[in-house]
Every structure is written in C-alpha cells, then in structure tokens.
Chains A and B, each alone.
Chain A
Amino acid sequence: MWKKFLASHFLWSFKRDWVAMASAAVLVLLLLASLLAPVIAPHNPYDGTNVDIMEAETPPVWMEGGTSKFILGTDAQGRGILSAMLYGMRTSLMIGLGAVFLQAFMGILIGLFSGYSGGKLEAFLMRLADVQLSFSTLLVAIFVGAIFQMVFGVASYEQMAVPLLIVIIGFAEWPQYARTVRASVLAEKKKEYVEAARVIGLPARRIMLRHILPNTLSPVLVISTVQVANAIMSEAALSFLGFGMPVTRPSLGSLIKSGFEFIFSGSWWITVFPGILLVVLILVINLLGDFMREALNPKLYKGA
C-alpha cells in the first residue's frame, strides 16, 4: 500500500507543485498547533483564574503598551489572543471535521443506495437533496441554526453548541456527497466487474459496499477537502451571527464576533488575528482541494 502510494502519479505531481506542498506544510502545522493547544498555548483561556480584567485590551507586544506576556495582545476580558486563537482553531476544526464526517456518512449511504437500487425512499431523498442544494447550504445552515436556537433556548443551545453545530452543518451539506456519489455509482454500475459480481450471485449490499464504493472514493476525497473548508466557513458564519459557539468557549468565528465591537475603539487585534488565522486555514485547505481536483481529475459537477 505504502509502496504503491510512493510510486503514484498523485505523489509525483504533489512533489512538483510547490503551492500544494506549502499548503500541506501550513495545514500540518496548524493541525499540530490545534492538537497541542493545551501544551503550547501560553495561557488557558477557559480558566477564569488566569484572567485578569486589568489586562483587558492589551495591544500586541510590538505596539506601545504591549507586554511580552501576551504576544498578540488580549481581548476585552483580558484573555490572551494567541491562546484563545489556538483553542478557537481547535474548536473550529473539530466542528468542521465532525460535520464533514456526518455529511459524508449520510451522503455516501444515500448516494450509494439511490444510485444502485433506488427505491421510493431514495428517490425522495434525492429530490430533497436537489431542493436543499438549490437553497444553498449556507442559507439552510443559518435557518436551521436559528430554528434550533429558538427551539432549545439560548442557554441550553450554548451548552450543546458543538454537537448541534455538527448536526446543523452536516445536515445542510450532505446533498453534495449524495449527488457526487450517486453520479459515480450510476457510471460504475454499468461496468463489467459489477456485472460479474452480480452473475456469481453476490448480494447487492456486498456489491455496493465492497465493489462499487471503493471506486467512487476519489471524487469523494476531492470534495471532502473543499467540504471541510466550507464547514469551517459555515461554522464561522453561524458563530458570527450568534447561532454558534458562545464567547466563553470561542471558535474562530465567535472570536471575530467578540472583537468586532472593539474595532471602533481601535483595538483591532482582537478581531484581526483570529480572522487572519481563519482565512489562512480555509485558504490552505482550498488550495489543497484545487490541487487534488487536478491530480485526481474526477468528473465533478460544474460549480457544485
């Protein structure tokens, strides 16, 4: 497996593409930083005893009034921006990856079944996918987020924010997977190996999961990268509107939101640093997605 990967066209083109290599390096760095956030963060932003309100709105170290204790300054409650960003990125990534797992699971299953056997239920679900996609995933996510907040009330919504956001974003974006998988299943179904498997009498479930599914994975891989970026972006948007993570357990989006009102008094660092981190995170994932699209070159829907 490993040897096959070393000799693959994928790795070959990766090594020749410095943009892809740089993005991968930055992404690995960011992933490590968020994984090790409790170890490398200078302070624990969740720990109230560390926070001193007298140190609120300290500017970054290179500006007048900055201290080396807070390299990127502090927010309105006196939490270090750098620490809050590291923990925030952790939360953002967790929600993004969780949402992608959920939507991939739902989408692949529905896409596979509706492409291969296609009963009434699957046909209905695919119609639902079409309708939902025509509404755009972000709009669906915002509406569902708003509805959930009304249903659960603000306090308990904030308590369960992480799983709820995963469900909201996962639910809003599964049609992407379902459509991609269904399209490639429809193409694979006509090939001879499927015919052969059917002739020797394998059950449909086995043909679907063991024979067809592995052959639909490369388009799934390609959209997965872009979907992670989309999910992180949706989470940030929801948090910014106040339907996401509370400021006490911030994601990058809620950090940007909490800093927004202070931008008028000149405390730009509370918003700008988390924002830049968010943009860099999304950008490297998108660049990798672009590279993978070209390297694996699966037939994808235009603009989908």
Chain B
Amino acid sequence: MFAFLIRRLVQAVLVMLIISFIGFSLKHAFGDPVRDLVGVSVSKEERDKIAEKLGLHDPVMVQYVRFLKNALTGDLGYSYFFKKPALDVILSKAPATLELVFAASLIIVFLSIPAGVYAAIRPRSFLSRLIMGSSIVGVSIPVFFTAIMMIYIFSVELHWAPSFGRGELVTLFGFWPSGLVTLDGLEHLIMPSIALSSIMLPLFIRLIQAEMMEALQSEYVKFAFAKGLKTFRIYMVHAFKNTLLPVITVGGVQLGTMIAFTILTETVFNWQGMGAMFVEAVERGDTSLLVAYLVFVGMVFIVVNTCVDLVYGLVNPMVRVAGRK
C-alpha cells in the first residue's frame, strides 16, 4: 500500500508540474504582466523599470521557478480586466459554480438510482424501455442546446422561469454569496441545474443499469433469493450495494466532464461562475486569469482524483496489486 501511495503521489506531482509548465509558457509567451499592472499608457522607460523589478529579464528557468513558488503560496498572477489577483477572482466566482454543481448532482443522484435500478430489475417492462430509450436520446443532445431550448420554451414563451443570472443573493458566513436561501435564487437555479444534469443523467442511468444487471446474475443474489429473503432487501442491500463501487469511480472521473459542462451551461444562462469567467477571460485576452483557471482546475482535479484512487486502493486490493510491475 505504501508503494502504491508513493507512486500515486509522484504521479500527481508530475502532472501538476506539467500543467504549471504549460500555464507558465503561455503566460511567458503571450501574457504581459507590465500591462496587467499599469495598463498601456506608460512610457517605455517606465515599463522597462517595472519589467526589471518584476524580474522579466531573468532567464526563463529562474522565472519558472519563481512562478512555481508564487503558485504554491497562492499567487497565480494578476487579472488585467478585474484589476485583482487572479486567485481572488476565481474564488469569488467559485460559490456560483459549486451551487450549480451541487444542485445538478442532487438531481442526478435522486433520479439515476431509482431509474437505473428499476430498468435493471424489470428490463422488459414498458417503463424500462422508455427509460433506456430516452437515455440514448439524452446523451445525444448537446448540453447547450438543451439549455437554449429550455430558455426558449420556459422563459421566452411561457414566462415560467427566469433565463439568466443568479437572482437575489444572500451572503452566508460573510463570504459565500448564496442563491440557495432565497426563493428568487432557487427559481434562477432550476433551469441551469436541470440543463447541467441532463447529459450526465443518462450516462449514470445506463451505468447503474448495466452494473445492476450484472450483480443480479451473480451467484450470491441467486442464493439470497433461494434463501427466501425479502425481494426489496435483496435488490437494495445485496445487489445495489455492490454496484456502488464502479459507479463511484466513474463518478470521480466524470468530474472533468462536469467542469466542461459547467463552462457551457454557465455561458448559456449567463451564470456568473468560474466557467463563464473562463470564456470571458479568453475573449478579453486576459492571459493571467486563463492560466490561473487552468492551474486551479488542474489542482482541484488532481487532488480529487488522487484521493479517489487512494480510497479505491484501500477498499479494493486488486487495484494496488495490479499496478505493480
């Protein structure tokens, strides 16, 4: 287990170094930290002075090491557009994205489990066929198109739900602007969260159904039936519990897909989260912010994935043994 842990950590650090190097090269080649700080209307001598002070004339590797050191202390550069440190901008946008992801995850968990389990138990019933059929249609609809259609039908035509923004916000704990505690905020959350969950939901339904089907054919389930246990208990306690492990692993991998889809969903609904911020940063040529987002997402990602892997290694010895040469 110790070797597995070390190997996993080394890999995480390596990946982080690669990501930071890509970020640094981008910034080095295309960013202009002097402009980020003082704007464009400053004389050349002044710029040179600032550049010298910032160490922009140092060798590249020296600058890279400085970039790494700064990143480790939480300094990811300075956003030209927002006139604020990039990390502050990202953190101020994070609650919006997290609330959206949270709401979408709730929808996914509470719909995919019953739907997937039911479709596995009664594969030939009409409802199961409907579930499985609509899930393949669901995977085929791009998330931004779902979002646009929802806006057109429910906002433009029916006026049922608001189409953009987060609505009324209340600041919780002094730093978390939340839309979850006001009625208006919740109304604004409905459509984006449904749109975001719309493409992951079919994926999870199909996965749970497939895993559950497999579990139902196994010996121990047959034995449980032969023993005369209650049907519901066999389904939920014996069979379903064993489908959870693969589902959770795939769920961890789907985090990246989820981030990609928040970028799309937030753009459509003008939801002021990290995803919309990223697209705007690219449009405005705000290199520092783009690089900061890249490094930030990479960091979150690697931490989550490494944790998932380590937990998985703890639970399932096959993983850590199989990886060994």
Asked if B148 and A127 sit within 8 Å, CB to CB, the answer is: no
**CB < 8 Å neighbour of B141 from A142, A242, A279, A303:** A279
Which chain B residues border A243 with CB–CB below 8 Å? 282
Q: Chain B: interface residue count, which band?
A: 35 or more
Q: Taking the nearest CB of chain B, how far is it from the CB of A142, in angstroms?
A: 6
**Which of the candidate stretches A52-60, A158-166, A283-291 sits at the interface with the other chain?**
A283-291
Asked if B156 and A149 sit within 8 Å, CB to CB, the answer is: no
B251-289 CB contacts (< 8 Å) to partner A: 253-257, 259-261, 263-264, 267-268, 278-279, 282-283, 285, 287
Q: Is B98 in contact with chain A by the CB < 8 A criterion?
A: no
Asked if A278 and B145 sit within 8 Å, CB to CB, the answer is: yes
Cβ-closest chain B residue relative to A279: B141
Q: Sample 5 A-B pairs with CB under 8 A, ordered by A number.
A: A150-B285, A229-B140, A264-B163, A302-B210, A302-B211
Asked if B250 and A134 sit within 8 Å, CB to CB, the answer is: no
A192–B148 alpha-carbon span in the complex (Å): 56
Asked if A272 and B282 sit within 8 Å, CB to CB, the answer is: no
Q: Is B15 in contact with chain A by the CB < 8 A criterion?
A: yes
Asked if A237 and B142 sit within 8 Å, CB to CB, the answer is: yes
Q: Taking the nearest CB of chain B, how far is it from the CB of A188, in angstroms?
A: 20
Q: B138-156, CB under 8 A of A: which get 1 and which 0?
A: 0111111100110110001
Q: Is B182 in contact with chain A by the CB < 8 A criterion?
A: no
Of B144, B163, B246, B255, which is in contact with the most chain A CB atoms at under 10 Å from its CB?
A: B144
Of A138, A150, A233, A279, which is in contact with the most chain B CB atoms at under 10 Å from its CB?
A: A150
Q: Is A240 in contact with chain B by the CB < 8 A criterion?
A: yes
Asked if A241 and B210 sit within 8 Å, CB to CB, the answer is: no
Q: Is A28 in contact with chain B by the CB < 8 A criterion?
A: no
Q: Is A99 in contact with chain B by the CB < 8 A criterion?
A: no
**CB < 8 Å neighbour of B152 from A135, A242, A268:** A268
Instruction: List chain B positions with a Cβ less than 8 A from chain A.
Output: 11, 15, 22, 26, 29-30, 136-137, 139-145, 148-149, 151-152, 156, 163, 203, 207, 210-211, 246, 250, 253-257, 259-261, 263-264, 267-268, 278-279, 282-283, 285, 287, 290, 294, 297, 301, 305
A303–B29 alpha-carbon span in the complex (Å): 38
Given A149-B282, A303-B250, the answer on whether A142 and B140 have CB atoms closer than 8 Å is no
Which chain A residues border B210 with CB–CB below 8 Å? 302
| A contact residues, total (Cβ < 8 Å) | 42
Of B144, B145, B260, which is in contact with the most chain A CB atoms at under 10 Å from its CB?
A: B145
Which chain B residues border A77 with CB–CB below 8 Å? none
Asked if B136 and A287 sit within 8 Å, CB to CB, the answer is: yes
Asked if B145 and A127 sit within 8 Å, CB to CB, the answer is: no
Asked if B260 and A139 sit within 8 Å, CB to CB, the answer is: yes
Asked if B141 and A263 sit within 8 Å, CB to CB, the answer is: no
Q: Is A275 in contact with chain B by the CB < 8 A criterion?
A: yes
Which chain A residues border B294 with CB–CB below 8 Å? 143
A242–B255 alpha-carbon span in the complex (Å): 23
Instruction: List chain A positions with a Cβ less than 8 A from chain B.
Output: 127, 131, 133-136, 138-139, 142-143, 146-147, 149-151, 229, 233, 236-237, 240-243, 253, 256, 260, 263-264, 266, 268, 271-272, 275, 278-279, 282-283, 286-287, 290, 302-303
Q: Taking the nearest CB of chain A, how far is it from the CB of B105, in angstroms?
A: 16
Asked if B30 and A264 sit within 8 Å, CB to CB, the answer is: no
A287–B133 alpha-carbon span in the complex (Å): 10
A39–B237 alpha-carbon span in the complex (Å): 61
A127–B264 alpha-carbon span in the complex (Å): 28
Asked if B148 and A260 sit within 8 Å, CB to CB, the answer is: yes
Q: Taking the nearest CB of chain A, how far is it from the CB of B56, in angstroms?
A: 19
Which chain A residues border B246 with CB–CB below 8 Å? 302-303
A58–B248 alpha-carbon span in the complex (Å): 50
Cβ-closest chain B residue relative to A149: B282
A241–B142 alpha-carbon span in the complex (Å): 13
Which chain B residues border A242 with CB–CB below 8 Å? 279, 282-283
Asked if B136 and A286 sit within 8 Å, CB to CB, the answer is: yes
Asked if B152 and A278 sit within 8 Å, CB to CB, the answer is: no
Cβ-closest chain A residue relative to B147: A260
A256–B264 alpha-carbon span in the complex (Å): 13
**CB < 8 Å neighbour of B256 from A127, A135, A260, A287:** A135
Asked if A138 and B260 sit within 8 Å, CB to CB, the answer is: yes
Asked if B136 and A139 sit within 8 Å, CB to CB, the answer is: no
Q: 8 extra interchain contacts, Cβ-Cβ under 8 A, other than A131-B15, A237-B264, A266-B156?
A: A136-B256, A139-B259, A142-B263, A149-B282, A151-B30, A263-B156, A275-B148, A283-B136
